[in-house]
A and B are shown apart, each in its own frame.
Chain A
Amino acid sequence: MTSKLESAVREEKQNQEFAKKYKADFPILDQQINGKELVYFDNAATTQKPVSVLDAVDNYNRTINANPHRGAHTLSVRATEAYENARAKVRDFINAEKSEEIIFTRNTTESLNLLANSLEALVEEGDEILISVLEHHSNILPWQQLAERKNLKLKYLYPDENYRIPLSELKEKLTEKTKIFSISQMSNVSGVINPVKEMAELAHQIGALVIVDGAQGAPHLKTDVRNLDADFYAFSGHKMLGPMGIGVLYGKKELLEELPPFLKGGGMIEYVKEQDSTYAPLPEKFEAGTPNVEGAVGLEAAVEYLEEIGLDKIKEHELELTEYALKKMKELDYVEIAGPLDLEDRGGIISFNLKDIHSHDLATIVDSEGIAIRSGHHCAQPLMKFYRLNSTGRISFYLYNTKAEVDRFLESLEKVREVFGYGS
């Protein structure tokens, strides 16, 4: 009994120390909001930046900034170097084979729009696109529009009562006509992690192209694109400690070479004549216009920071917080959780509602206690409709969150109830 208690106390201490150690690296977290110490639980929307990322961007702007590529002067050469170093860092982060397989975009949304636009060249009327009802709008709308333009069929996978999409569901929905299969690595609503490797294998067996939306995956799950064998993988820098406005599209080289460019203009050309043009090789073919070099430099610093700690350790920490929060929330009879209660194949995202209280009122009132949570439909209206939810509150964790913060959040729920005149 004593040893069990001792180990529980030790674990608790480790969890606190882990977060405390890293929290100090994030200046923004050291402030009061509405008179209370900030608790930042909106990490699935965007994450905060450590000093090393802030410094890397600042240093780039103070000492290197110039338009990269084709510049003859020294700063332009240095800016090109900084940009390409960032690309190499991202390549290694997801274990891609070649640097030119890494296309810098603004974010996951742009990466997916690029694909839906360029893949038009490879589909024909009657083909099918398969996605899931779990998807974020950015992995739905581009496909809806492509389906409309080319007269394709857009089909959906649905989760079971356990919030997971069974592989049998995928087997059932895949047909010879399925040309594109696009799936999120982790749901931004229920926190469920999809078995993307197994799914990719099944989709490849019938010859479909496989796209994985890693917006919620890349920041938390160690991802090896070669092992995963996805044809394309998209993610955003700002959800993994990097700046906003820098995102990534990974694609297998032979596929990227086959696809026509998305945006056209400067930087992506080889020869331009009055009536036609030829395009630059990868990755420039997909990077029209002056790129976001400071963003790429910031993303490189973010990857370095995450790798130094290790994504596995970060995930372990997040799951400890999730387990703790779920356990406590389950005890409250006025809390309804919209996601699995077990910890298998799930990340640190919890969507929930308080009985008879709209999530926007909930978010406003916990904000008055200094706690930042998200409310609404989380850009996943089809999933909300599927679960017959109008909206939910959502908390999502990262490395700098602590159990003490979870406690403060739980206390704030009592306050929400009080404001609405429900007994505590």
Chain B
Amino acid sequence: MDLDSVYTELIMEHNKNSRNKHSLEDADLSEHGHNPSCGDDITLELKFDGNTISDAAFTGSGCAISQASTSIMIDLIKGKSIEEALELVETFIAMIKKDIEDQQELRKLKDAMALKNISNMPARVKCAVLSWHTLKEALKERN
């Protein structure tokens, strides 16, 4: 197992100093996500401007992978429409499940592609997908 391919600089940076980790004043929607088996626990807060996610942030605690994945996701979805965000969630989950392996198709995930190697670590997959599932739940509520 190559640790460097999992604990990349990008992931470590997002874990340590996430600019997205704070609570959001006047959030329109707040969604709680939890991995009961390991204790990763996040609250995702979203602000909307019509159909667009105008701002997002999170609070909570968990392992480096869960925290970095959440932060990277927030960078990606800000400014996106609900439909676009949902599509990104599906693509990310497909990447982790290895349903999509084509680099071209994955390019729209941008920095979140750094989490691709988690798919080789079954024990940690749930850490990586927690925030994405949480976002999906939140957006379903919004729709």
Contacts and interface: CB of A to CB of B under 8 A. Distances in A.
B38 interface: yes
A376 B41 CA distance: 13
Interface string A349-364: 0000000011111001
Contacts of A391: 38-39
B124 interface: yes
Q: How large is the interface on B (under 10, 10 to 19, 20 to 34, 35 or more residues)?
A: 10 to 19
A361 B65 contact: yes
B100 interface: no
A376 B39 contact: yes
Given A34-B1, A421-B12, A361 B63 contact: yes
B39 A365 contact: no
Interface in B1-46: 1, 3, 6-7, 12, 16, 37-39, 41
Contacts of B3: 364-365, 368, 419
Interface string B59-102: 00111110000000000000000000000000000000000000
Interface residues of A, number: 19
Contact of A364 (B39, B61, B62, B123): B123
Interface secondary structure of A, over-half rule: mixed
Contacts of B16: 421
A357 B1 CA distance: 20
Contacts of A358: 62-64
Contacts of B64: 357-358, 361, 420
Nearest to B126: A360
A364 B38 contact: no
B57 interface: no
Contacts of B38: 360, 375-377, 391
Interface of B: 1, 3, 6-7, 12, 16, 37-39, 41, 61-65, 121, 123-124, 127
23 contacts: A34-B1, A358-B63, A360-B38, A361-B63, A361-B64, A361-B65, A364-B6, A364-B121, A364-B124, A365-B3, A365-B7, A368-B1, A368-B3, A375-B38, A377-B39, A384-B39, A390-B39, A390-B41, A390-B61, A390-B62, A391-B39, A419-B7, A421-B12
